[in-house]
Structures are given as C-alpha cells and as structure tokens.
C-alpha cells in the first residue's frame, strides 16, 4: 500500500484531520530541504508537498512565485531536489508529494523522472497543468511505480467530472478553494462549504482543500467539511522568516480536531 493511503487510513482510525504543508524546494538553499522536511514532520505534518521551482508557474501566487525565483537563483535543479529528497527519506516516515509543472518533467524525461522519484521515496505527484484528458503522458508510469497522481478539482468543475476524476485515484482529491492562483486570503466564496460537502459526498477518496488557507480559523472551518487542508503560501512565508514558533503553532491547530 502506498504511504499516502497508509498515513491517511491511520489518521482516519483516530478520527484525525490531515494537515499537508507545502514548501518550495531550494528556497533558502537545497541544503536546508532535508532539515525542513524533518522539522515539518516533527511539527505534525501528515504529509509534505514539495514544490519544484519553475519559470512559468501559472497556478502560483506572488508568495510562491517569489520562493520559486529565490530557489532558481540558488541554482536549484530537479535533479538536485530528487537527490535531497532521497537523503531525507531515511529520516522521515510520512508521505512526500512532489508538485511540479509538466515542462520540467518533459525536459527531464518522463520515464527517468518517475524512476528516480520512486527511488528517492516520493509517494505522490501533483501536476496542476496536466488535464485529465492528457494524463496518459505520465499516469501509466506513475501507476506502475505505485506513485499516486493527485488530481485537482475546482469550484467550477461540474459534478459529473468530479465523480469521474475522483474515481481515478487512490491517494486524495485536491479541492481548489478559490477561482484563481495560490496566496493567503482573508475570506472565501460563500459557496465553498457547499462545494466541499458536494465533493466529499461524491468522492471515494479523501478530500483535501488547498489554495489561500492561511490561519487557524480558516483551517478549522474548512476541515469541518472535508478531510484536511494543504497550506502553502503561509508556510513558505514563515520558513522564509525563520519563524519556527509561529509555524509550529499553526501546524498544531488540528491536533485536537476530529472528523465530523
């Protein structure tokens, strides 16, 4: 069984919600990636999403774009990221999910990419610019390697498409909570709770909400309608500021939260 399914099954047994922090690999230097992964597990991460810096990140807001620029200026490469994840894997037990756009995978070589991330201990892959209709480009390789392709749905995704997309995976369904790019937000569309409830009712796999989630109140509210959250921009900011106390406090918000 894939590490994602194992981890989420264990959390479900204890009626616990899922907290997945996102970090940009190479922001602050590739040499800190392993230690940051260890810290995030220590602070209670259920899994960790590791971003690959890319020059044209169409789904990313200003905070993550700037983190990607810093990472690229530090000389971060996909090969280097995979190497550092491999080093870190011996120190952490939770799932590692790589988030990358399709172009870096193509440039690297699809088969080579999947082979090497499997060897490094990556458990899932999020490719936001890969439509379901085109995923045969990489999905068969990932399936053979037992790496979950994490698919996304949005506020504008029709219910029949949500059903079709959620039936394909065994990891989790990524519910995008805004009509737009990543980044911290003070409020959400009034229809968000209904949207999450609808997905939860129709998805055979866990539903995690992401994009713009940045504070305790949002995390508690949103996780009352789904299985967990993915928090990116706020995590990236706190790491960039080296504010580990605030990071630990934010990540502990679900410690005593249980499923409805």
For 56-89, the three-class secondary structure string (H helix, E strand, C coil) is CCCCCCHHHHHHHHHHHHCCCCHHHHHHHHHHHH
Residue 27 token pair:
């922001």
Residues 6 or more apart whose Cβ sits within 8 Å of residue 6:
none
Handedness of CA 182, 185, 190, 193 (dihedral sign): positive
237 is catalytic: no
Catalytic pick among 60, 84, 123, 227 = 60
Helix (H, G, I), strand (E, B) or coil at 117: helix
41 is catalytic: no
Phi-psi region of 67 (alpha: psi -120 to 50; beta: other; left: phi over 0): alpha
Catalytic pick among 27, 31, 41, 49 = 49
Catalytic residue numbers, as ranges: 49, 60
């Amino acid at each position: 069984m894939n590490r994602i399914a194992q981890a989420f099954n264990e959390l479900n047994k204890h009626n616990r919600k899922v907290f997945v922090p996102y970090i940009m690999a190479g922001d602050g230097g590739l040499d800190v990636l392993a230690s940051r992964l260890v810290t995030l597990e220590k602070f209670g991460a259920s899994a960790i999403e590791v971003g690959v810096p890319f020059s044209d990140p169409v789904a990313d807001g200003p905070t993550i774009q700037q983190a990607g620029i810093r990472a690229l200026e530090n000389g971060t490469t996909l090969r280097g990221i995979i190497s550092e994840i491999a080093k870190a894997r011996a120190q952490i037990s939770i799932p590692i999910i790589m988030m990358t756009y399709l172009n870096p995978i193509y440039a690297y070589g699809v088969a080579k990419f999947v082979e090497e991330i499997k060897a490094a201990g990556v458990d899932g892959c999020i490719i936001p610019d890969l439509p379901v209709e085109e995923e045969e480009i990489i999905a068969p390789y990932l399936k053979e390697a037992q790496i979950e392709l994490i698919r996304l749905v949005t506020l504008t995704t029709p219910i029949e498409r949500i059903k079709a997309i959620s039936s394909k995976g065994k990891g989790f369904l990524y519910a995008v909570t805004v009509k737009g790019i990543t980044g911290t937000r003070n409020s959400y569309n009034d229809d968000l709770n209904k949207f999450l409830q609808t997905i939860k009712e129709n998805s055979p796999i866990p539903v995690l909400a992401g994009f713009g989630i940045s504070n305790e109140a949002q995390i508690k509210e949103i996780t009352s309608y789904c299985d967990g959250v993915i928090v990116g921009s706020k995590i990236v900011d706190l790491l960039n500021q080296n504010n580990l106390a605030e990071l630990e406090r934010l990540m502990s918000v679900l410690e005593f939260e249980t499923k409805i």
